[in-house]
Structure 1
Amino acid sequence: MRYYSKKGPIITIITWSLLMGLFGTIVILLMNGIDNSDSLFGLIIVSISLVFVIWLWINTYYEINNGDLKIIAGPFKYALISINEIKAIESTKNIITSPALSMDRIEIHYNKWHTIIISPKNQIKFINELQKINPKIVDKTYNKNSINKSVM
């Protein structure tokens, strides 16, 4: 089952500002003309950056399949985690770079010391799906509708 990343207002504003800036740069470069290799190189780099940001925005998701959690961010296969290795899930507002398009995030603790931060649109359904596969996952999130409840 595939869960797309929630898109929060802060990251939406940042992303769309970046997209408008990149698009505006392309327009300016084209209006001034491609008269040398530097202009062409700049146009190529800015165009690739624009496509990359759009790809990240459209194609960031988390997939539960065959006992694994696959995390995809644009063109990158970010992580493949065995759901049976997940120990706990907790709410976080950590701003660290992660495959999450919202500040409404959850941090997944797996293996012995590994963590990853993601932001599925429907966190309750996502956590419940993980807990169906691994009922030992401790839910430390703020939601009250998931299967396992723990004291915060």
Structure 2
Amino acid sequence: MTNSFNPFDPEAMMAMMKQMPFADMMAQMPGMDASAFTQMQERNMEAFRAASTAASEAYQQLFARQVELMQSMMSEAKASADAARDPSRAHEIMQAGMEKAMQHASELASETQKANARAWDIVSTRMRESMAELQDMAKRT
């Protein structure tokens, strides 16, 4: 059995980071403002936290909506079960149920896409800001 590095283990990541001579490397970069760089990274982490929070809240709302839709569909299925026993109405009831299920799936997919887009907007905006900050730092050297 080999003892390999697990990048998903926070303790292993922190141990690896402590071994890296970041402070020494920053001092060797002419014109690099370590404080400004640290502040920039803090803003990056805050953007990731904000994106994660936005996504988490949106997914909680989506889950609640899924539960609501499932309960509604089950109630409707129960109510139409007797009518579906009539062969002349069974096809019509099944078709209506499938159409409603597809509408619900489309609604949930659209809301999921919007949630992901909101989270991505937060991250991509911060990425652009971060690149501009790095370019400004580079110009000062």
TM-score exceeds 0.5: no
Higher helix share: 2
Larger radius of gyration: 2
Higher strand share: 1
With the length of structure 2 as denominator, give the TM-score of the two structures. Answer: 0.34
